[in-house]
Structure 1
Amino acid sequence: MKKTLHLWHRYLGLVVAIPLIIISLTGSILVFKEEVDHWLMPELTVVAGTSGQRLGYDVLRDTVNSALNGYEIGSWEVFDDGQTADRIYVLKHGTNEWFKVYLDQYQGEVRSQPVAVNHYLTDWLLDLHYKFLIGDTGLWFTGVASLILLFMGISGLIIYRQFWKKFFTLRLKVKRIALFSDLHKLVGIWSAPVLLVIGFTGVYWNISEIIHHELEHSQEEQHVITGRLYNHALSLDKMMAEASQQMGGFQATYLLFPYEPELQVTFFGEVADTSFVTSEYSSTVSFDKQSGGRLSNYDIREAPFYLVAVDSFRKLHFGYFVGLPSRIIWCLIGLTPLIFTVTGCYMWLKRRRPKKRLSRITQPI
């Protein structure tokens, strides 16, 4: 059993080495996506404001609509940290194509023209990380890679089930193959818990997206937007005030507008008195797109345990649940598949060569 598991561990690792390296390295960079964007594109992504001085949602919406004639707002990422610009995702009339713009929420200024959602470097890396740049088909590849990563972590712990005995074992004055073997095991032991979390949450998201696309939308055509699908006279500020009153301190972090006929206006956000792994999109309040009347609200504090657990996957996957320390750890762990690939391939090659030499020696002349 152990030998068979070892073979699966070895050969699956060789098969998916390159995809796992791509996913892991891009993931390590994306842990610091905001910082990278601020460094590369300060003219677009960095704003000068003080928390609490945002302009009203109605004013900002009118600003975007005036500046982007021929586009409709589909969704809106909201920031109020005094330094990060809002991100607006719009659809072009006559298409179902999404574009992205940056908005200075303190000065009321649209800072960029609409560009493809993977136009900027970190957005391109996110597409590479999530879909290998090949659209929904890429979900299958990253899903399989995540499953294998999960298997590698579990099988590694089983193979080296007495791992606690070698928690700090790294022999330096030995042959390279022994050194690489120790390094492979040591890095695996230390990184396994985090890799299991990343692998499991990645598998869940991929499977969820695949089910959504293949089953729910397999027979549907995407709606081609030709105009506004909601009553523009509705006040987003009033909706926000009602949402905050309804759920006591609700803070919006994401707005979803009706870009398909069956959708309503929905505010995603966070509430007080939640776990440190509760995401910033954990609670929602929906409003009728024509009358503005409140339809429903979803408070994560009243949700069953399994939904609370699923919500925590976002912070657990990207590692920002305790701020900078956990992000640094997740970033470093993301580099470990490169170590596994180098050490694993080296050991595989070295162990094959003696067998080849022996087979040539024993062949009859």
Structure 2
Amino acid sequence: MKKKLHLWHRYCGLVIALPLIIISLTGSILVFKEEIDHLIMPELASVNASPGTRLSYDNLHTTIKHNLPNYEIGSWEIFDDGQTADRVYVLKHGTDEWFKVYLDQYQGIVRTTPQAVDYYLTDWLLDLHYKFLIGETGLWFTGTISLILMFMGISGLIIYRQFWKKFFTLRLKVKRIAFFSDLHKLVGIWSAPVLLILGFTGVYWNISEIIHHEFEHADEPPHLVKGPLYNHQLSLENLMVTAKTQMGGFRATYLMFPFEPDLPITFFGDVANTSFVTSEYASTVSFDKETGKQLPNYDIREAPFFLVAVDSFRKLHFGYFAGLPSRIIWCLIGLTPLIFAITGCYLWLKRRKPKRRMQHKNEYVTS
């Protein structure tokens, strides 16, 4: 059994080596997506203001509509740290295509014309990481890679089930094949828990997206946005005040507008007294898109354990649950598949050579 498991572990590693390296390297980079955006395009992604001085939602909403009359707002990432510009995602009239603009929320300036959601470097890397640049088909591909990654992590721990004995074993003054074998095992032992988390959360998200796109909306034609799907006379500022009043300690981080006929206006945000792995989008307050009447809200503090666990996947996957230290660790572990690929391929090739020599020798003898 162990021999067969070892064989499957080896061949699965060879099959997914290249795509796994791509997914892992892009993931390591995306751990610092915000910092990279601020560094390479500060004129778009960065602001310099005092936190708490952003303009009202109504003022900013009017500014966006004035600057983008041929688009409808679909969603809006909200920041108030004095450093990060808001990101607004819009749909062009007559299409179901999404575009992205940067908004200076402190001065009321739309900084860019609408660009494709994968136009900027880190957004392109995100699409490569998530869908391999091939749309919904990429969800199946990356989901499969994540499943195999989970299998390799579990099978590796089973194969080396006495792994605690090798926690610090790395022989240096030995032949290269022995060194690479030690390095492969050592890196695998240390990185397995995080890789299992990354694989599991990745599989969950991919399966969720596949179910949403391929099954729940498979027979529905795409909705082409031809105009506003909500009452533009509603005061977003008043809705925000209501959200804070109804849910103590609520801080909005994301605003979703109706981009399909049956959707409400929804504020996503975080609340006080939650776990360190609770995401900043964990709780929601929704309103009727025409009347502004409050709909039942969703408070993560009152949610069942399963939903709380699912919400924690965001911080666990991207590694920002403990600030900079956890992000650095996640970034470094994202590089380990490169080590696995180099050491694993080297060991596979070296171990095949004796078999080939023996095969040639037997053929020579029999002839």
TM range (shorter): over 0.9
Q: How does 1:124-139 map to 2 (within 5 A)?
A: 124-139=124-139
Q: Which residue of structure 2 aligns with residue 56 of structure 1? A: 56
Q: Which residue of structure 2 aligns with residue 233 of structure 1? A: 233
Q: Does 1:156 align with 2:143?
A: no
Q: How does 1:260-275 map to 2 (within 5 A)?
A: 260-275=260-275
The unaligned stretches of length 5 or more in structure 1 are: none
Give the Å deviation of 1:353: 0.8
Q: What is the SS of the residue equivalent to 2:259?
A: coil
Q: Distance in 1 between matches of 2:33 and 2:211?
A: 28
Q: Which residue of structure 2 aligns with residue 145 of structure 1? A: 145
Q: Distance in 1 between matches of 2:130 and 2:274?
A: 28
Q: Which residue of structure 1 aligns with residue 173 of structure 2? A: 173
Q: Distance in 1 between matches of 2:275 and 2:113?
A: 38
Q: Which residue of structure 1 aligns with residue 12 of structure 2? A: 12
Q: Which residue of structure 2 aligns with residue 246 of structure 1? A: 246
Q: Which residue of structure 1 aligns with residue 184 of structure 2? A: 184
Q: Which residue of structure 2 aligns with residue 278 of structure 1? A: 278
Give the Å deviation of 1:94: 0.6
Q: Distance in 2 between matches of 1:340 and 1:273?
A: 40
Q: Which residue of structure 2 aligns with residue 212 of structure 1? A: 212
**CA deviation map 1:143-181 (0-9, x unaligned):** 000000001100000000000101000001111110000
Q: Distance in 1 between matches of 2:82 and 2:160?
A: 49
Q: Which residue of structure 2 aligns with residue 3 of structure 1? A: 3
Q: What is the SS of the residue equivalent to 2:295?
A: strand
**CA deviation map 1:122-148 (0-9, x unaligned):** 000000000000000000000000000
Give the Å deviation of 1:107: 0.5
The unaligned stretches of length 5 or more in structure 2 are: none
Give the Å deviation of 1:330: 0.1
Q: What is the SS of the residue equivalent to 1:297?
A: coil
Q: Distance in 1 between matches of 2:239 and 2:98?
A: 25
**CA deviation map 1:247-305 (0-9, x unaligned):** 00211100000111011100000000000000000000110000001011000000001
**Letter of the structure 2 residue corresponding to residue 332 of structure 1:** L
Q: Distance in 2 between matches of 1:114 and 1:45?
A: 14
Q: Distance in 1 between matches of 2:54 and 2:185?
A: 51
Q: Which residue of structure 2 aligns with residue 335 of structure 1? A: 335
**Letter of the structure 1 residue corresponding to residue 103 of structure 2:** L
Superposition TM-score, scaled by structure 2 size: 0.99
Q: What is the SS of the residue equivalent to 2:135?
A: coil
Q: Distance in 2 between matches of 1:125 and 1:18?
A: 16
Give the Å deviation of 1:30: 0.3
**Letter of the structure 2 residue corresponding to residue 351 of structure 1:** R
Q: Which residue of structure 1 aligns with residue 199 of structure 2? A: 199
Q: Distance in 2 between matches of 1:137 and 1:238?
A: 41
Give the Å deviation of 1:101: 0.2
Q: What is the SS of the residue equivalent to 1:254?
A: strand
Q: Does 1:103 align with 2:103?
A: yes
**CA deviation map 1:43-77 (0-9, x unaligned):** 00000111110100000010011011200100000
**Letter of the structure 1 residue corresponding to residue 125 of structure 2:** L
**Any runs of at least 4 consecutive aligned residues in structure 1 with deviations exceeding 6 A, and if so which?**
none
Q: Which residue of structure 2 aligns with residue 350 of structure 1? A: 350
Q: Distance in 2 between matches of 1:59 and 1:104?
A: 12
Q: Which residue of structure 2 aligns with residue 259 of structure 1? A: 259
Q: What is the SS of the residue equivalent to 1:320?
A: coil
Q: What is the SS of the residue equivalent to 1:136?
A: helix
Q: What is the SS of the residue equivalent to 2:187?
A: helix
Q: What is the SS of the residue equivalent to 2:268?
A: strand
Q: How does 1:17-96 map to 2 (within 5 A)?
A: 17-96=17-96
Give the Å deviation of 1:214: 1.1
**Letter of the structure 2 residue corresponding to residue 333 of structure 1:** I
Give the Å deviation of 1:361: 1.2
**CA root-mean-square deviation:** 0.5
Q: How does 1:249-328 map to 2 (within 5 A)?
A: 249-328=249-328
Q: Which residue of structure 2 aligns with residue 117 of structure 1? A: 117
Give the Å deviation of 1:5: 0.6
Q: Distance in 2 between matches of 1:362 and 1:291?
A: 84
Give the Å deviation of 1:351: 0.4
**Letter of the structure 2 residue corresponding to residue 145 of structure 1:** I
Q: What is the SS of the residue equivalent to 1:328?
A: helix
Q: Distance in 2 between matches of 1:312 and 1:361?
A: 58
Q: Distance in 1 between matches of 2:61 and 2:48?
A: 20
Among all aligned residue pairs of Structure 1 and Structure 2, give the percentage whose two residues are the same amino acid: 76
